[in-house]
Chains A and B, each alone.
Chain A
């Protein structure tokens, strides 16, 4: 929240930042896929148990939302 703009990164730092960005893109994709699978899987199990497919959809949406939040927590706020 400081009023000063951040200083220009040195060439070494900007290479490091580019490296981070690339890695984060791969990892973010993995997290979203994982979120949908994990909580979608839980939703599917509950659906099978209660014989109502709404829980599968609910699980997938919760998983996607949680994973996107996780991506933001991990990589969104530098």
Chain B
């Protein structure tokens, strides 16, 4: 242990990763406005568009590999998310939900793609904007289906409750549906990606520091373990990234489904 401390003192100090690692300078010059996360979004969007264009360009009864993959993703959203959470009417919302799922998944996965290695969705603006789109859609769908008065009446006043309790219950319903839904959608995705990226940074940068700066027996042993753990966590992070894309999309679908059929 003392050898490790001595060695650590002898070399450059290790800077633990933190929120500063999520701020990027402009890529071109000091006044440029294009940053790495923006580039990830642009390239990611172009990539999605290109892949889906190629997948559907010559759609065949016997699908090729790319068409098979594209239809697989779309079918997954349709069957596992839209049909599951919305039901028969869900088919109408599959285009939006599939776009949402693929967009979030690609921006998440950017966090573990070699040399890119930054999940753009860990910056709160992106999940917030997507959550607001979902918020507008499910409220619009609900108001269109039940009417403005009907939508809020069904939301605020569940039937079969003594009238005296409504002052206690209605604020809960209102906040839960109108205020907390977009907030929780946003924060769940943002901080899952934020925390995951921090863990990877810590494992990999820490491992690198131990191997190349601290050195010695302990440096090599601990650095090796840290790097190995970083690799394991990278795969785990890939799973989390797909899972969070699924959860965001599923919840958007659940909210749309709830707005279409108010429960009694």
Which A residues are closer than 8 A to B by beta carbons? 16, 19-20, 22-24, 26-27, 30-31, 33-35, 37-39, 62-63, 66-67, 69-70, 73-75, 77
Contact = CB atoms under 8 A, between A and B. Distances in A.
Contacts of A35: 172, 176
A39 to B, nearest CB: 7
Contacts of A37: 175, 180
A28 to B, nearest CB: 10
Q: Chain B contact residues (Cβ within 8 angstroms of A): what range?
A: 20 to 34
> Interface majority SS on A: helix, strand, loop or mixed?
helix
Interface string B245-258: 00000010010011
Contact of B180 (A24, A30, A39): A30
Contacts of A67: 172
B263 A31 contact: no
A20 B184 CA distance: 21
A62 B167 CA distance: 12
Given A26-B251, A62-B168, A74 B263 contact: yes
B100 interface: no
A12 B169 CA distance: 33
Nearest to A41: B175
B160 interface: yes
Nearest to B158: A73
12 contacts: A19-B257, A22-B85, A22-B254, A30-B176, A30-B181, A31-B176, A34-B172, A34-B173, A38-B172, A73-B169, A74-B158, A74-B263
A70 B85 contact: no
Nearest to B264: A74
A10 B84 CA distance: 17
